[in-house]
Amino acid sequence: MERLEVRELNFYFGFSQILNNINFELKQNEIISIVGPSGGGKTTLLKLCAGLLDVTEGEIKNSFSSSSFAFQDARLLPWKTTIENIMLPIIAHTKYQQAYEEACQIALRFGLEGKDFIKYPKDLSGGMRQRVNFARALITKPKLLFLDEPFSALDIGLKRELQDFVLQSGEEFGTSVLFITHDLMEAIRLSDKILLLKSDPGEILKSYEITTPKQKRDDEFVFSKTKEFLDDSDVINTFEIKVR
């Protein structure tokens, strides 16, 4: 079975410790979200898991056959159009026309319109750039997806649609997802497990399993679970929420 295992991971940038004793396991078909305060080390942890940074202490084992990453900042190539950016990961091993058609299909599915296909990143809105970034990560149908706040610049309608797309990818292709979000409701809607990462240094303070099947998580469920979270003293302390 494909899985990602993180064991006793410590990480430093120079002399400052960013992550301390991180342990978790992501299995096939699972979605794990990481929530925590800004600057706490979430992106760093995701990059380590994706092999984009070298582990200093501890171990990360990734046995998924393929993976892709949607970065927090969209990182599109400025000299390529929307469609050319989306095609990038498959262009080397797919015929141009096929790659082009696949990119158009996924772009349409993500709410981009024909007139946006030939635009360059500088002429797209922030939310559009995020959608191109997300489409580019999904075009390879990866077994493991690393998502760093992929929907933060989207309106609530689009956000909901793309969240559903993440869930569908799980059902259709068995995609597993390691997901960073600041949106607790999003984490509750999508995740099998939520890891609460405190900062200075980043440590997993708590791990919440959500066992209710994802298709049964209606708004009422999500709201009441969010309230439960916001009442949890660990969440209050981690985010330094002022209780009134």
Ligand X SMILES: Nc1ncnc2c1ncn2[C@@H]1O[C@H](COP(=O)(O)OP(=O)(O)OP(=O)(O)O)[C@@H](O)[C@H]1O
41 touches ligand X by CB under 6 A: yes
The closest alpha carbon to 195, from 184, 185, 204, 182, belongs to 204
Q: Which does 41 bind (CB under 5 to 8 A by kind): Mg ion, ligand X, none?
A: ligand X
43 touches Mg ion by CB under 5 A: yes
**For Mg ion, what does the binding mask look like between residues 124 and 163, x meaning CB under 5 A?**
----------------------------------------
User: Under 8 Å CB-to-CB from 14, ≥6 apart: which residues?
Assistant: none
Largest CA distance in the chain: 59
- Cβ 21 to Mg ion shortest distance, Å: 20
User: Are 90 and 135 spatial neighbours (Cβ–Cβ below 8 Å)?
Assistant: no
170 touches ligand X by CB under 6 A: no
Distances (CA, A) of 107 to 13, 62, 117: 37, 29, 8
Q: CB under 5 A: which stretch of 2-10, 24-32, 42-50, 218-226 binds Mg ion?
A: 42-50
Kindly identify the residues of this chain, within the stretch 171-210, that bind Mg ion according to CB under 5 A: none
**How far does CA 26 lie from the centroid of its chain?**
13
User: Are 34 and 180 spatial neighbours (Cβ–Cβ below 8 Å)?
Assistant: yes
Altogether, the residues listed in the chain come to a count of 244
- Cβ 38 to ligand X shortest distance, Å: 3
68 touches Mg ion by CB under 5 A: no
> What does the alpha-carbon distance between residue 146 and residue 137 come to, in Å, rounded to a whole number?
9
38 touches ligand X by CB under 6 A: yes
Q: Which does 18 bind (CB under 5 to 8 A by kind): Mg ion, ligand X, none?
A: ligand X
Q: Which does 13 bind (CB under 5 to 8 A by kind): Mg ion, ligand X, none?
A: ligand X
48 touches ligand X by CB under 6 A: no
- The packing angle between helices 126-138 and 82-91, to 10°, is 20
For residue 121, cis peptide bond before it (omega within 30 degrees of 0):
no
Which is closer to ligand X, CB of 69 or CB of 89?
69
Where on the chain is the footprint of Mg ion (CB under 5 A)? 43, 72
Where on the chain is the footprint of ligand X (CB under 6 A)? 13, 18, 38-44, 72
